Amino acid sequence: MADAKPRTLGELKAAGYKVRPVKDEMRRNLIEKIRREEVIFPGIIGYEDSVLPQVENAILSGQDIILLGERGQGKSRLIRSLVNLLDEETPIVTGSELFDDPYNPVSKMARELVAEKGDATPIEWVHRSRRYGEKLATPDITIADLIGEVDPIKVAEGRYLSDELTIHYGLIPRTNRGIFCINELPDLAERIQVGLLNILEERDVQIRGYRIQLPLDVFFVASANPEDYTNRGRIITPLKDRCGSEIRTHYPRTNALEIEIMDQERYRFDDDEIKASGPNFMKEVVAEVTQLARRSPDINQRSGVSVRVSIANYENTISNAVKRSIRTDENTAAPRVSDLPSIVASMAGKIELEATDDGREEHVIDKLTQSAVLNVFNRNASLQDLEPMVAYFDQGNSIEVSEAMRSSDYMQAAGKVPGLLEHARTLAGNDDPAVIASAIEFILEGLHLNRKLNKDKVTGRSQYRGHHGLL
């Protein structure tokens, strides 16, 4: 099929191929996907009824976009998925730095080549993945990075400074006929934003006092964090005005969506010998920790609590469970409540506390974890149904758990407690001993947090016991 593609300008004309502006191209492909009821933004979860309809409207309107939201809300992933709305391949003048349209080249090199060879001008086809450019805004970015600079080597070869061919083009011209993204736009110095506006609005470039017309065809999209407007910079009004749509993103609004993202994004190894599964109630606890953190007065909400917190916490609890299974020679693993301290390492560096006391992160995370377990337990269990086992502990009995204990030891100990093993099997939803052991510990911890059981901690172990008639 590749050999049948036109390879010269004349063949392209003969084939009746029409080159569309990039915004027209994206609009046409979006319309086709809507008609065919295809997934338009694969891997984007939780935005179906909020953000995505606004993005679709902007594309259908031919508007550039600013995505405004806190860190870890999937802004970059959404932007990168826009590439799927470009044609799979598009023709360019062979060798052109600016992906020149063979019918209407903008660079001097391509214009001269078409003028010289006419219909014999060679063309090549570029994949849509090469038509995407991205830059993280930092204060040290220069006009040369984004737009271009005079290349001293080309001058040394004998070209005049007034010759357009002396210019080494920056990222934006090199994304001609594609999508260009600036991440964290407010971090870009205002004078650079003015230069960005000039090339996008006026379609001309001024480099070292030399001005050239460069009618670029670019779909421009930017991301920004609202906190940056006051802390580090701002988006200049003319640039904001040029972007037709400013769209607010948000964090997952439910635990179920947070869990879906955790399952999709967590790192998986191809050669895992131990089957690791996160029980639904433990996934819910990890998600609940993040949801509570986003409302906690101890955490700076202006900087946000990223979805990456949930993903990293979930990965660490699974890893702790896998490590236990290796040491106890079990072939399945499931996170337990006693594995939750492992999230301190994955969470502490991703949140900003309102107070800056050293070591306070661990205290805040522990408090969030306890609240999360309590909330999830109360949504999944009935204290009234568990009264027989509470009575058993109030008779002076106890049970010991540990992150290092085998699953079979949990089940053996739980078998002595009226109803505990049965309730754990129901909560687990399967017969995997690792998941049942996790459910046993979850029920015990839930009863403790509801003040039905006492809990004594010794290094690496915990003992649950009754109140001995004190209640």
> How does pLDDT run across 101-152, given as a tens digit for each residue?
999 998 888 999 999 999 999 999 999 999 999 999 988 888 888 887 766 6
DSSP character at residue 9: H
The yes-or-no verdict on residue 346 having pLDDT over 60 is yes
What is the reported pLDDT for 471? 39
DSSP character at residue 219: E
What is the reported pLDDT for 358? 62
C-alpha 451/C-alpha 265 separation (Å) is 36
Q: Which residues contact 188 (CB under 8 A, 6 or more apart)?
A: 137, 138, 139, 141, 182, 196, 233
pTM of the model: 0.87
CA angle 339, 393, 341 (to 5 degrees): 10
Strands 132-136 and 398-402: unpaired
Please state, for a pLDDT cut of 70, what percent of the chain lies above it.
90
The H or E element that residue 149 is part of is: strand 148-150
Please state, for a pLDDT cut of 90, what percent of the chain lies above it.
67
Pick the CATH number of 2-248 from 3.40.630.10, 3.30.479.30, 3.40.50.300, 3.40.50.11720: 3.40.50.300
What is the reported pLDDT for 155? 56
Torsion on CA atoms 305, 310, 313, 317, rounded to nearest 10 = 160
Q: State the amino acid at position 333 in one-letter form.
A: A
Whole-number mean pLDDT of the chain?
89
- In this prediction, residues 450-462 reach a mean pLDDT of 90
Strands 454-458 and 461-465: antiparallel
Strands 245-248 and 89-93: unpaired
Query: Where exactly are the structural domains of the chain?
Result: 2-248, 255-465
How far is the CA of 162 from the CAs of 159, 211, 262, 379, in angstroms? Answer: 8, 9, 55, 72
pLDDT tens readout for residues 391-441: 999 999 999 998 889 999 999 999 999 999 999 999 999 999 999 999 999
What is the reported pLDDT for 1? 40
The yes-or-no verdict on residue 359 having pLDDT over 70 is no
Q: Cα-atom radius of gyration of the chain, to the nearest Å?
A: 30
Instruction: State the burial class of residue 448 (Cβ atoms within 10 Å of its Cβ: 0-12, 13-18, 19+).
Output: buried
